[in-house]
Chain A
Amino acid sequence: MPKRIGIEVSLAVADAVKMAKADVISAYPITPQTHIVEELSTYVANGELDAEFVPVESEHSAMSAAVGASAAGARVYTATSAQGLALMHEILFIASAMRLPIVMTVANRSLSGPISIWNDHSDIMTERDINWIQLFVEDGQESLELTLAAFKIAEDKRVLLPTCVNMDGFMLTHMIEPIVFPDQAVVDKFLPTYKPLLTLDPKKPATLGPVGVPEVYLEAKKQCEQALLDSLDVVKEVLAEVNKTFGRKYDLVETNGRKKAETLFVTMGSLGETCWSAVDNLIAQGQDVGQARIRLWRPFPVKEFIKACKGAERLIVIDRAISPGSVCGPVAQEIKSVFYGLKDAPEIVNIIAGIGGRDVPVADFEEMYRLAKKRKLAKTYTLWGLNSNA
């Protein structure tokens, strides 16, 4: 029987990795990801999880060891945040180029400097082009289930790409939430033992990571990108299976509030829940407003997103990262590109909010809505909550 437990979300993620029976976990401590790997190392120490825990000396080595272990045929997990993700940067591209189904939690945190341990999306937005499947979760239940789903997606023979599950540092990772835990037998059926296609096997020697001369580099890159594009259907399929197995209604893009609303908020990650409350308040005040929440960031679900926005005259796109020197935040850039040249494209306003752990309460979303409606927001982007006198 599934059990409902009040638990810190980080620990639930660790439980998901335990239930996924990861073979190798390589990790380096960084706030706010640490609770996940601490819990996993405890499971290994207690014999509750029969895995190799490799306490590496840096995140660069965490990802490198993950690559080595995955190439050798193991199911591999790691977790990181901010500077840790940045230190992995070089290897993230290689992990996807080698088509290794590593699963990683990114407990999203602001990048230095100034150094900040608090939450925004600047870490993962810097890594948009790593050719990984990138999911964003909003709550604890989803964190557990999408961690399991991440293994299933990554290891699918049609995909074979590393997958990261983004969850807001502290704002989500350190929350205690009621979470329903599935039975191990159910998980085992959902996620069978990983059977790799190609490994470092002395009986069938393979050369992994050869030199890509100009005659082959482009084609290698395109194959990798094509695998990412094609993974969208598999993500859909696996979410459908998650829904069936665990009784959810997850989709690539989800909507709430009024159908075919005039104004839509667009969110990604845990701010979506706060925004949702604001949307409900605004509807109660008679406003024609709704919300589209992006769950799959890479590959970007273009068709699904356009469908979710159908009928909207205005999108208020909430970004949680600055893209210095650009015209707007990264999510808004994406969405503007998606709608460029389309008939009936909505007006797109961009608000960059919650940077470096700055709180964005419900009332702020209501204020954003009012300003957007009165066309009082900048055409490029608005840095929400900026104290210009500082």
Chain B
Amino acid sequence: MLRDIDLSGFEKITAKDLPTECMVSSGHRACQGCGEVLAMGMVTKAAGPNTIVANATGCMEIISSPFPETAWKIPWIHVAFENAAAVASGVEAAVKALMRRGALKDRPHIIAFGGDGSTADIGFGALSGAFERGHKFLYVCLDNEAYMNTGIQRSSSTPYGASTTTSPAGKKSIGQHTQKKNLPLIAAAHGIPYVATASPAFYLDLMNKVRKALSVDGPSYIHIYAPCPTGWGMPGSKSIEIAKLAVQTNVFPLYEVVGGRFALTKKVAKPQPVTDYLKAQRRFRHLSDKEAAFIQQTVDGNLDYLQRLVAATNPEPAKAKKPKAKAAPAKKAAKKK
């Protein structure tokens, strides 16, 4: 159902007033060029100090909390791999109860972080349950497209054609032979007020989406593209470039779903060919031209589907989005196939 979402509490961030205080301090143990920890830092910057984080087991948990050290400047809880959403549910329930009996005054933001394995696979049920129950919290999936912490095993969020340690490319395999699970759409299907995709390459967009997500009354979900130099086979210095390329090739379109209404938040005027993206990473190196063409087709098809969702859920998209009416070329690209 389409519904109007109250975004009056949304405090927009501009390049001039970027929050500077990062709640994940430096000195943590992430790999060089880790896009995931960068994105996580941006999320906490946008959220501010009055925030409680529930973190699933995974890279971000391991690198930020080797006792007796901690990178966390805000209250942080890690329980297990598959339950960040359930833990956040409990925190939120406690916050409500404690506020009612006067034991707590300022309502903190509640953010759950999980990787793609934790979100799309093992913690999928807990996530769905928390969305359905309507807890006011933000779930952020930091998607590096495989189980990186355990050594680059495939997840259901690993893209088609990627070689991982459990979907290796070989004489009889192109690597991952299944399509990436579409988590943002699944999240949106729960009818929660706010869903978005984001990328650390577009930090203002990312941080404003966090602000919006935290302003709505109910669950919100942000799916963040998190480049992994170690797992993807690229130099650490290329993380942001790859993240940009993922958007510019439409491999990872940036959009949001507010009250069921889809909107592209970054329209790509002249999409680059997918091969630019694939060739920059070792995980795709084995792919033939034919396979790359198939991936291009899928990317175009996915964008086309997204644009149809935008059109179907916005009665007058042309008028409402007039200043940014550059979606046409992308559409054309989609129709080419």
Contacts and interface: CB of A to CB of B under 8 A. Distances in A.
A176 to B, nearest CB: 32
A69 to B, nearest CB: 4
A342 interface: no
A37 to B, nearest CB: 14
Nearest to A194: B103
Nearest to B72: A207
A210 B89 contact: no
Contact of B91 (A58, A71, A98): A71
Q: Which of A66, A74, A98 has the most CB of B within 10 A?
A: A74
B86 A24 contact: no
Contact of A24 (B49, B74, B77, B90): B90
Nearest to B135: A54
Interface stretch (B125-133, B194-202, B213-221, B224-232): B125-133
A269 interface: no
A61 B70 CA distance: 26
B91 A68 contact: yes
B66 interface: yes
Given A54-B89, A64-B86, A67-B90, A206 B75 contact: yes
A212 interface: yes
Given A23-B97, A72-B52, A207-B65, A57 B82 contact: no
A52 interface: yes
Interface stretch (A128-136, A197-205, A221-229): A197-205
A318 to B, nearest CB: 36
A64 B80 contact: yes
A71 to B, nearest CB: 5
Interface string B95-114: 11110110110101000000
A202 B79 contact: no
A66 B91 CA distance: 8
A58 B68 contact: no
Contacts of B61: 211
Name the prevailing secondary structure of the A interface residues: mixed
A68 B74 contact: no
Given A72-B95, A202-B52, A209-B65, A54 B90 contact: yes
A54 B126 contact: no
Contact of A60 (B54, B86, B97, B98): B86
B91 to A, nearest CB: 4
B97 A74 contact: yes
A213 B96 CA distance: 35
Contacts of B97: 23-24, 50-52, 69, 74
B89 A61 contact: yes
Contacts of B75: 199-202, 205-208
A65 B87 contact: yes
Contacts of A90: 80
Contacts of B106: 202
B93 A65 contact: yes
A56 B108 CA distance: 22
B73 interface: yes
A24 B62 CA distance: 29
Nearest to B63: A211
Contacts of B88: 68
B87 A64 contact: yes
B75 to A, nearest CB: 4
A50 B102 CA distance: 12
Nearest to A25: B93
A56 B74 contact: no
A57 B129 contact: yes
A216 interface: yes
Interface residues of A, number: 44
A218 to B, nearest CB: 12
B83 A64 contact: yes
B93 A74 contact: yes
Given A74-B98, A209-B65, A91 B79 contact: yes
B302 interface: no
Interface in B109-160: 125-126, 128-129, 132-133
B87 A67 contact: yes
B84 to A, nearest CB: 9
A61 B76 contact: no
B270 to A, nearest CB: 45
Contacts of A205: 72-76
B178 interface: no
Contacts of A67: 77, 79, 87, 90
Nearest to A216: B67
Nearest to B93: A52
Nearest to A94: B79
B101 A65 contact: no
Contact of B49 (A52, A65, A202): A202
Q: Which of A57, A60, A61 has the most CB of B within 10 A?
A: A61
Contacts of A69: 90-91, 93-94, 97
B94 A52 contact: yes
A26 interface: yes
Contact of A68 (B86, B96, B100): B86
A55 interface: yes
A73 interface: yes
B275 interface: no
B181 interface: no
B129 A61 contact: yes
A338 B192 CA distance: 56
Q: Which of B50, B82, B92, B94 has the most CB of A within 10 A?
A: B94
Nearest to B83: A64
A91 B83 contact: yes
A182 to B, nearest CB: 22
Contacts of A91: 79-80, 83
B74 A202 contact: yes
A346 to B, nearest CB: 43
Smallest CB-CB A-B distances: 3 pairs: A68-B90, A57-B129, A65-B90
Given A56-B129, A69-B91, A200-B75, 9 more contacts: A54-B89, A54-B93, A68-B54, A68-B86, A71-B87, A74-B97, A201-B75, A202-B51, A208-B78
Interface of B: 49-52, 54, 61-62, 65-68, 70, 72-80, 82-83, 85-98, 100-101, 103-104, 106, 108, 125-126, 128-129, 132-133
